[in-house]
Structure 1
């Protein structure tokens, strides 16, 4: 009985594994010879006018080249701080730094938006009612949130470009 079940199970397993031949790592080389890392490097990112947007832009430009840009990334970043809790002593409060981003990837040859999306990052930090420490904590939270947001946007763009590359 066990032998009779093992043959169909082996056939089913062989068929399932045959479909794995189309797997390609996200940053692997496409059949057309290009790869996502090269495509992402050929992307310009719109100038930003506030510090949070500049930090996200810098994260996205890490590793980009300065040659001819195939894509233009339009980016809108909004930031805010939300009070989470105040501890009984009144001197310590928990804050949440919220960074929201909307992006549109535009093909510079056709001027068409090829993908867009929204993402966010929440980073918590403590305030101690000490002005310099509170400013440093808020600035550190902004930097961490911008890094997370930039990495998330880059991953989303990489996934899109990988799925739509030759």
Structure 2
């Protein structure tokens, strides 16, 4: 113990170490309680299953996805989205007889980024918004509707060809994101509802 400014000071190193160890134990207890609560919540939810396991009807989700026909989408970017979805649903193999049709409408927007004082933009962002419908071919009933969005940025250059190539690359990246999002949403729906 020491005497400082009229107060008796104890061994501060010991009390600080005790305080830190108590806080550490307290945080560990709280984390364990949260993990136990999350485990109980998940165990009570009997509907959790792997996305590409079997569906609620017992059929393979992969086989159900192979039975989805992707309707044509106009434009170069639409063709990119369609091709990605076809490859994702069939794996590049032969297509199963189609039971569903996936109709997609794309909207593209280009936004200027990093605008200089002169008004020139040094970069742009391509945004693709897709609205889709999954239709049952047997009765033409819409089973699911949804939206997917993809964004990709690119730099602008002095050369025209470089700008066009950079924009195409950004469109392709945004299209891949949209296709992946739609595939995941449709697979989740088919796994749980069809």
Same fold (TM over 0.5): yes
Structure 1 residues 160 and 89, CA gap change in structure 2 (3 angstroms): same
Equivalent residue number for residue 102 of structure 1 = 131
Deviates further, 92-101 or 136-145: 92-101
Contact 1:92 1:128 in 2 (8 A): no
Q: Distance in 1 between matches of 2:125 and 2:61?
A: 34
Report how many residues are paired. Answer: 154
Contact 2:56 2:193 in 1 (8 A): no
* Aligned residue runs from structure 1 range 9-20, under 5 A: 16=40, 18-19=43-44
TM-score (norm 2): 0.71
* Aligned residue runs from structure 1 range 1-150, under 5 A: 16=40, 18-19=43-44, 22-30=47-55, 32-62=57-87, 63-64=89-90, 65-87=94-116, 93-150=122-179
User: Where do 5+ consecutive residues of structure 2 fail to align?
Assistant: 1-32
- The alpha carbon displacement at 1:105 in A equals 0.3
- The alpha carbon displacement at 1:32 in A equals 3.7
User: Where do 5+ consecutive residues of structure 1 fail to align?
Assistant: 1-8
Indicate the structure whose relative CO is greater, using CA pairs within 8 Å and at least 6 residues apart. 1
Contact 1:80 1:98 in 2 (8 A): yes
- The alpha carbon displacement at 1:163 in A equals 1.6
TM-score (norm 1): 0.82
- The alpha carbon displacement at 1:100 in A equals 0.9
- The alpha carbon displacement at 1:97 in A equals 0.4
Secondary structure of 1:48's counterpart equals coil
Q: Distance in 1 between matches of 2:56 and 2:131?
A: 31
Q: Are positions 1:156 and 2:185 aligned together?
A: yes
- The alpha carbon displacement at 1:87 in A equals 4.2
Structure 1 residues 127 and 18, CA gap change in structure 2 (3 angstroms): closer
- CA RMSD, 1 decimal: 2.4
Secondary structure of 1:84's counterpart equals strand
The structure whose Rg is larger is 2
- The alpha carbon displacement at 1:88 in A equals 6.0
